[in-house]
Amino acid sequence: MSIDSINNNVGVINSTHSSSLERIASGLAINKASDNSSSLSIADNIDSQRSVMHQALENINSGIAMSNIAQDGLSQQKDILNEIKVLTLQASTATTSDEGREAIGTQISKFLDQFDQVAQNATYNSERLLTGDQKDLSVITDEDSSISMETKETKTISDKIRNFLGNFATDLNAINNLRDATNEGINEVQSFASEFASSANQMESSGRSAISAQTSLAEANSSILDADYSKEITDFSKTNLMAQIGMLAASQANAVQQRSVALLS
Tens of pLDDT, residue by residue over 168-177, are 888 889 999 9
Q: Average per-residue pLDDT in the chain? A: 76
pLDDT higher than threshold 90 for residue 77? yes
Map residue 191 onto helix, strand or coil. Answer: helix
Phi-psi region of 227 (alpha: psi -120 to 50; beta: other; left: phi over 0): beta
Please tell me the distance from the alpha carbon of residue 74 to that of residue 88, in angstroms, as a whole number.
21
pLDDT tens digits for 195-229? 999 999 998 888 887 777 777 766 666 555 454 44
Contacts of 23 (CB under 8 A, 6+ apart): 29, 31, 227, 232
Classify 150 as helix, strand or coil: strand
Q: Which H helix or E strand runs over 14?
A: helix 3-26
Q: Which residue has the higher pLDDT, 112 or 23?
A: 112
* pLDDT higher than threshold 90 for residue 160: yes
**In the prediction, which pLDDT does 30 show?**
55
For residue range 224-249, list pLDDT tens digits in order: 545 444 554 555 455 554 555 555 44
Triad 184, 190, 191: Cα angle to 5°: 90
> Span 118-145, mean pLDDT?
85
C-beta separation of 77 from 69 below 8 A: no
User: What pLDDT is stored for residue 114 in this prediction?
Assistant: 97
For residue 103, name the pLDDT band (cuts at 50, 70, 90): very high
CA distance 206 to 60: 8
Cα 19 to the chain's mean position, in Å?
38
First to last CA, the chain: 23
3-class DSSP state of 196: helix
**Residue 12 confidence (pLDDT):** 43
pLDDT at position 43 over 80: no
* Beta pairing class for 139-140 and 127-128: unpaired
Indicate the helix (H) or strand (E) that contains 89: helix 37-92
- What is the per-residue pLDDT for 251? 57
Q: Which has more confidence, 125 or 72?
A: 72
Q: What is the pTM for the complete model shown?
A: 0.68
Burial 13-39 (b: 16+ CB within 10 A, else e): bbebbebbeebeeeebbbbeeeebeee
Residue 58 buriedness (CB in 10 A; 0-12 / 13-18 / 19+): exposed
Query: Where residue 55 falls among pLDDT bands split at 50, 70, 90?
Result: confident
**Residues 207 and 60: beta-carbon distance below 8 Å:** yes
**Cβ-based neighbour number of residue 11 at 10 Å:** 12
Q: What pLDDT score was predicted for residue 209?
A: 79
More confident residue, 215 or 161: 161
Question: What pLDDT, in 10s, does the model give residues 113-124?
Answer: 999 999 999 999
Q: Is 1 helix (H, G, I), strand (E, B) or coil?
A: coil
| pLDDT score, position 10 | 43
Decide which of 53 and 31 is more confident: 53
